Amino acid sequence: MIMKLLIINAIWSPIFKITNKNIKEISKIFPDLKIIEYDYEYDSENIKYYNIGEMLPVLILLDEQGFEKGRLVGEKSVDEIKEQMKEIMDASVTCDKCNYEFVLKEESIMKEKMEVKGLKFDLIYFYCPSCKKIYRASIQDRKYYLLVEELDKVRKQVRDNFGTFDTTKANKLNKKLKKKSNALKNHVLEMNDKFSGEFAFFVDNRGNRTIEYIENDSIN
C-alpha cells in the first residue's frame, strides 16, 4: 500500500536537523513512502485542517486517498518512528464477505497488470486469505503515473525552498502543489467511477489464476 508521510516542522525548532536526518533514514526503510514537508509558520494554510498543536514535529501517516491513519508528535528516534509506522501500516481488516479477520501487512499489497475497456493499468490490491475476495487499493494508469511525477517535482521544489524564508515563492509553490494534488485526486476518483464494479480471481481448467473485472450489473 502506497502511503504518504506528512511532516510538519519549523526551522526554528531545536530538533529540526535531527528530524530531517531521521526522515532520510525512514525513507530508506520505506522506499515507497511519499514524503511531504510543511513549515509550521509559512504553510499554515495547508496544515490548518490537521489540528496541529504547539509541539513539533508532527508526523502524519496518510493513505493513498489522503485519509489520516495515525500520527506521531514530538521528538522520535528512527526506531520509534519505524515501529509505530509498522503498527499503523499493519492494520487489522475484517472481510465484508466472509467476516474473516486478518492483518494487512505491507507485503500483502500486490500489483497486477490489467487491460480493461481498452485501458491498460496496474491494479494495486489485497485479498481476503479465506474467501479470496479482492479489495482494490488503487487503479494506476499512465496518466496516474504522469500526475504523480508532476506532483513529486513540485514537492521537490517545495523542499528545496524550505528554510529559505522566501514567502512569495512558497505561496506560489503551495498553490501549484494544491493544484497538482487536486488533479491527481480527481483522476483517482474518475478511475474509481469508471471501474466501479469488482475485480475477482478466476481459475481455468489448468489451475492458472487470473484477475478479471466484473461490471456492477453482472455481479450477483
CATH number, domain of 73, equals 3.40.30.10
Instruction: Assess whether 118 and 195 both reside in one domain.
Output: yes
Residue 184 and residue 132 share a domain: yes
Is the separation of the CB atoms in 61 and 34 below 8 Å? no
At 219 the pLDDT is 56
Domain ranges, residue 137: 107-220
In a domain, 94, yes or no: no
How many other β-carbons are positioned within 10 Å of the β-carbon of residue 147? Answer: 20
> Residue 167 has what pLDDT?
81
Residues 82 and 191 in one domain: no
Same domain, 177 and 211: yes
| Same domain for 53 and 121 | no
140/209 Cα distance (integer angstroms): 21
138 within a domain of the structure (yes/no): yes
Domain-terminating residue out of 62, 89, 116: 89
* Residues 135 and 78 occupy one common structural domain: no
Question: Same domain for 44 and 143?
Answer: no
| Separation of alpha carbons 2 and 20, rounded Å | 21
CA 61 to chain centre: 8
Q: Give pLDDT, residue 54.
A: 80
Tell whether 85 is covered by a domain: yes
Pair 81, 137 in one domain: no
Q: Is residue 98 part of a domain?
A: no
Contacts of range 172-181, beta carbons closer than 8 Å, 24 or more positions apart: 174/43, 174/45, 174/46, 177/46, 177/151, 178/46, 180/147, 180/150, 180/151, 180/154, 181/151
Are 46 and 32 contacting, i.e. CB atoms less than 8 angstroms apart?
no
Q: Total structural domains in the chain?
A: 2
Residue tagged 464494479 (cell numbers) = 197
Together in a domain, 116 and 164: yes
Please check whether residues 200 and 163 belong to one and the same domain: yes
Q: Give yes or no: residues 217 and 114 share one domain.
A: yes
Supply the pLDDT for residue 53: 84
- pLDDT tens digits, the chain, 220 residues: what are they? 557 889 998 877 778 888 888 888 888 888 778 888 888 887 888 888 888 888 889 999 887 667 788 888 988 888 888 888 877 777 778 899 999 988 877 678 899 999 998 999 999 999 999 999 999 988 999 999 999 899 888 878 877 877 777 888 888 888 888 888 889 889 988 999 999 999 999 998 888 899 999 998 765 5
The pLDDT, as a whole number, for residue 11 is: 78
Domain boundary among 60, 89, 118: 89
